[in-house]
Amino acid sequence: MKLDGKFQGGFNYINKNLWIILIPIILDVVTLLTYQQIYRMEYIPIRQIFTFKIGIISAPPSVQFILEDFPSLILQYNHSGFRGIINELTLFNVLLAGTLLLLISFIQGGYLGILSGISAKDVRVKDFFVLGNRLWLKFFLLQTLLMYPIFLMLVSRGFIYLTIINVIFFYVKYVIVVDEGTLLENFRTGVAFFWDHIGLSIKMAFYFGFIFSLLSIVIYPAAAGGLVGMVFAITLTAYFGAIVNKAVLEVYREARDNNENG
């Protein structure tokens, strides 16, 4: 499977619906501005000029993929411990996390839903809301499952190693928007696809990671240039991240179709 062809296809798709990148841009910009207003401090990224990345950016994409110290208003974990509002296991924090997961699930469902369109001509802004409303429950249950290591880490940092288990659920979100069926079927299909295509997943991790490794040369100096530069870094990441998200989705769709056709 030629990943450069999938990347080119994602490039064409996003260019015909450039408004799609507003979703990740708004998420990162709102996070950044809210963090700076609440904590009364300007975010200044770690000064680097290059980062070698291996992996596939999240969907929706975030500049945190490159700027790993990019602030998370609610929950973030690094070598110094937990940062953000949720820093201990309490009833309020569980309810707050649940509320945020509902919002994130709606956004993720709408975002991936519009990316799953076959033709770029058929994608409209209202489809984001329609698909978000249709898919939010599945994504909420998926995100809730993926959050369990974080809450265990609030009890003991030793549980951080459990986060690696979540990698087997990587394709579930793509299965949800491409395939029909129940959530349980989506989980089974996604996990099975991961094990059956580990080689393909590793290939994508290096291929798409290399793209963002090159972009880091531009993103780091831009992010260090104040708010305008930071917004530029966020926009650049959102653009190429959306292309990668679309490419991965089409990789799954083609591999699934090939399996079905024998």
Residues in the chain: 262
pTM here is 0.90
Give me the pLDDT at residue 87, please: 56
Give me the pLDDT at residue 225, please: 87
Domain ranges of the chain: 3-260
Residue segments in the chain with a per-residue pLDDT below the cut of 70: 1, 73-90, 92-93, 120, 149-163, 260-262
Question: What DSSP designation does 49 have?
Answer: S
Give me the pLDDT at residue 27, please: 94
Q: Give me 152's structure tokens.
A: 């265990």
